[in-house]
Amino acid sequence: MAEITRRTFGFGGAAAGASGLLWPQVALPTPISGGVLKMVIPSEPIALSAVAFSGPSRLISPKILEGLIAFDLAGNPKPQLATSWRISDDRKTYEFKLRPNLRWHDGKPLTSSDVAYSISSLRKVHPYGSATLVNVVGVDTPDELTAIIRLSAPAPALLGALRAEFSPIFPRHLYEGTDPRTNPVNNAPIGTGPFKFLDWERGSHVTLIRNPDYWDHPKPYIDRLIIKFIGDGSARVAAFETGDVDIGGGNPVPPNEFDRVLQLPELRSDARGYAWLGFLTQLLFNLDRHPFNILAVRQAIAHAIDVPRMLNIIWYGRGVVSNSPIVPDLKPFHVDVPAHPYDLMRANALLDSAGLPRGGDGIRFRLAFDYLPYGDEYRQLAQYIRASLSRVGIEVSIRSQDFGAYVRRIYTERDFDFAHITVANDYDPTVGVQKLFWSKMFRPGIPFSNGAHYTNPRVDELLEAASTEIDINKRVAQYREFQLIVSQDLPHINLLSLTNYTIYHRKVRNHTVTVEGLAGNFADVYIDPRAT
């Protein structure tokens, strides 16, 4: 087994560099300790820990729970809970050496036993782990500071998945014997990270406080992190204007307000920290319900939606149209697949051919549409879909609900017709795309899995092969065929890859130092009253 070197494994073009490399030293202002940072997110999570994964939790959990490694902005791995790692020549064994004297926030020691338990649990219950860790056959713990992950086949996306956002290491002594997804510790997490949980005021905010015993002393620098839930876009704008929040990411203000807000002298924007996300806005059919199990109906709905116009009207052109489930920025895997262009005549003809004629009132059938409650733009998307489908005789009722109710309806109860989702492709299709289309990821109860209940044996074969293929050219070919097939089967309508950005007060420094962006641990963040 050799120490891992700067070698590209094919995920997002990022190099899996050696731990222990000499990182360039740059003269920077000396961080200042103290202060309170107020961050805004548009939706309240179901749980705070990424163990019970839900979209908003990925911005909170990594401040409390850590991963084995992290990645800098250039995509190079660097130590977190692990100080070094080695990968065997056959790429089926990953050996990690842990930091000595690590302790959970409750004072108990962290050992390799916690790592083994976490990896094994995430493999079973996590929407990302179920795909990226599927080839894990065991985790050996020869001593308290060594964890050896054994695989049945190579996993080119594995290393990138071992960061806190996807594979948080959590305390075995608080989870063993429970269902990790429903353990109440998820709502008051105990981790090893730079911040400790203080309280969660439902409907308002979460407060985290500085961990004085953090292993990377003297970090963290801020005393307190308050994460506020503000769903209304105008209210988020007002919060930035009044100083009620200091930072927010992923399009934190409505697109039509972006330029005006940034005219405020104390505010800045930053596009870093999103390269490994690749968010894709999609429409999801429930293939277990009639008439969405009819391909012609799905095609008709796709032809009824003018996607470029949607981008311009709702998001002011801040993004690109993506007909493929792999976003254009995820090179070299993205393929420009055949589109279903806006064509009302074609849409009407398809619906007629499917045996769904207009009634006396002009309506062919009715459906309910559920949108992801992440802000005003997605509510406008729902209204746009309703207006678009009315032109071909489909009457749409829009259901508004909070994030928890949305997830239960789509992924647990499966009580939906047609829904909007926005899901990250992340740095590799195995991580962010496979879970949506792989038949083995039809797992009611797991958010952002195969909610359509899509099944295609050839797609399964391609996804499984690509998840273990080391040859990048073969992986590209496998994902190309996959994209062509799903564009024909149309279990989803792929819409847009939106441009993301962070807005922050000029006094906030070091908010984005890793590929995770605002989903990083914030250990380096400090508030600088000297900022101009």
Residue 81 exposed, middle or buried by CB count within 10 Å (0-12, 13-18, 19+): buried
DSSP notation for 205-249: EEEEEE-TT-SSTT----SEEEEEE---HHHHHHHHHHTS-SEE-
pLDDT < 50: residue spans in the chain: 2-27
* Domain spans in the chain, listed from the N-terminal domain onward: 36-238+502-527, 279-498
pTM confidence score: 0.90
Whole-number pLDDT of residue 208: 99
- In order of 255, 301, 398, 426, 451, the CA distances from 262 in angstroms are 12, 38, 33, 28, 38
Whole-number pLDDT of residue 1: 55
For domain 36-238+502-527, give the fold.
D-Maltodextrin-Binding Protein; domain 2 (3.40.190)
With CA atoms as reference, report the closest residue to 68 among 122, 1, 12, 142.
Answer: 122
- Tens digits of per-residue pLDDT, 238-248? 999 999 999 99
- Tens digits of per-residue pLDDT, 345-399? 999 999 999 999 999 999 999 999 999 998 899 999 999 999 999 999 999 999 9
Q: What is the mean pLDDT of the chain?
A: 93
CB contact at 8 A, 151 and 137: yes
- Cis omega before residue 308 (within 30°)? no
Whole-number pLDDT of residue 333: 97
CB contact at 8 A, 343 and 391: no
For domain 279-498, give the fold.
Dipeptide-binding Protein; domain 3 (3.10.105)
**Backbone conformation region of residue 75, classed left if phi is above 0, alpha if psi is from -120 to 50, else beta:** left
Write the CB contacts of 494 (distance below 8 Å, at least 6 apart in sequence): 280, 282, 322, 323, 324, 325
Rg (CA), the chain: 23
- Tens digits of per-residue pLDDT, 433-442? 999 999 999 9
Whole-number pLDDT of residue 530: 82
